Amino acid sequence: MGYYITVERNVKIFVEDTDPGHGKPILFIHGWPLNHKMFEYQFDQLPKMGYRCIGVDLRGFGKSDRPWKGYSYNRLADDIRIVIDTLRLEDITLAGHSMGGAIAIRYLARHAGHKVSKLALIGAAGFTRYPEYSYGLAKEEVKRWERSWNKLIEATYTDRPKMLDGVGDIFFARYVTGSFKEWFHGLGIEASGHATAKCAVSLRDEDLGSDMSKIHVPTGIFHGKQDRVCPFVFAELMHARIRGSKLIPFKYSGHGLFYEELEKFSRELVRFIG
């Protein structure tokens, strides 16, 4: 079922909940510039295994309201806190993809892991400007990351459909059908153009380095080896900085590992959650 939750005055966000009050809760936070429907295939299967799947459309995306402000990681993490408290969730697995993973990291740090028992980072945008580049994130790679987001921000304001086509071209490392690409492209089109651009600014500018040391729950890092959106080095950096984390590589996947290796992803996620 779907419903709206007020997160601040005149701002409501949409929540999809497969089975309110039943099963182990997994709260999914989608990636940029999509919405909760990107997890359609997990929502089809995981409830059969006893899991309650809860999907949030971040403000500005999907069916949620589209305010002019509020696209920092802090504000987006605060929205997640309100959802959790409103639904009275306990013992949650917080699962975030790409930017959703970054927001999940900020949530754990900012809200001291409130009600979260496990953290699943899926192709997470674990960007850090820490000076120790021992895991391959050299200064030039940081600059390259920033330049790529500058181009995406500019393209969002000038030709957003074409920009989304470009993102789709590098999202998957394995073949997906034309029909699937069209559906996937439509998820991005549903978003507010302004929210798409402002969240791209957050992706470019926000630093998660200090947040990772504040995570004290079991953390699974699910990441495609061929990811061209969030390079695999991000997974290695997160693994190094999040104490006790487990790195689960997906050899044949790019940024869309949740679909490219669908069966393995579901199997590994269930194994991690337990």
Active site (catalytic) residues: 98, 227, 255
Residues 226 and 30: their CA atoms lie apart, in Å, by 20
Q: Pick from 200, 171, 176: which is nearest to 33 by CA?
A: 200
* Amino acid at position 184, single letter: F
Q: Pick from 231, 259, 219, 217: which is nearest to 126 by CA?
A: 231
Residues written for the chain: 274
Q: Which phi and psi angles does 105 have, rounded to 5°?
A: -60, -45
Q: Pick from 171, 135, 197, 186: which is nearest to 253 by CA?
A: 171
3 state DSSP class of 161: helix
- Strands 51-56, 11-17: pairing kind: antiparallel
Please, are residues 43 and 18 in contact by the beta-carbon 8 Å criterion?
yes
Residues 125 and 79: their CA atoms lie apart, in Å, by 19
